[in-house]
Amino acid sequence: MMKATMANSYEGTSLTRGDSKTLGLVISQDKMLGSLVESMTDRFPDASVGVLCATKLVSFTNWPESGDAAADFGDTELETLVDHFKPVLEASGIHVERIPDQWTVLKVLIYQEPQSLEKISWCHVNRSHQHSCPDLLALVDLVLSFPASTAKCERGCSTMKHR
């Protein structure tokens, strides 16, 4: 995004060049993008505390290839999810204190799998490792149950308004 500075330039390039329309366009874009960010923050308040971002750990495409990065992958995100969903998990009989250790165990088990990360699914992981990581997999199931969007609900409400 191009931002106007006090000197009306961006990375050393003048934004006015004698034409006030250029600067006006930049200011309009800044206002529009600022409004967009504000709307997204209002619409997805959990994103500001990291819950939405933390759900990336359930997508194997976000997992690093085995190595040093894999050892600590997802630890912070897992802590965010456990903190956020702790009341729900405990009410369901999940032992939240066991989840971090089960996360470490599960990462080791997954990286020992003969197939690549792209070919692993959570259905396979649940079948294979339910006995060793039940509390963690309950959290993963909870995260995977989030709808990708509310578009279907919104279309239904819109349709009801038109009738």
pLDDT tens for 84-111 read 999 999 999 999 999 999 999 999 999 9
* Environment class of 1 (CB within 10 Å of its CB; exposed 0-12, middle 13-18, buried 19+): exposed
Cα distance between residue 8 and residue 17, in whole Å: 10
Residue 96 has what pLDDT?
A: 96
> What percentage of the chain exceeds 90 in pLDDT?
39
Residue 9: beta bridge partners?
14
For the question of whether the overall pTM of this predicted structure is more than 0.85, the answer is no
Confidence of residue 155 (pLDDT cuts 50, 70, 90): confident
Q: Which of 10-14, 33-37, 135-139 has the lowest mean pLDDT?
A: 10-14
Q: What is the length of the chain?
A: 163
Residue-wise burial string across 83-93, b where 16 or more C-beta atoms lie within 10 A, e elsewhere: eebeeebeeee
Residue 129 has what pLDDT?
A: 95
> CA quadruple 148, 150, 153, 159: dihedral positive or negative?
negative
Cα distance between residue 112 and residue 119, in whole Å: 13
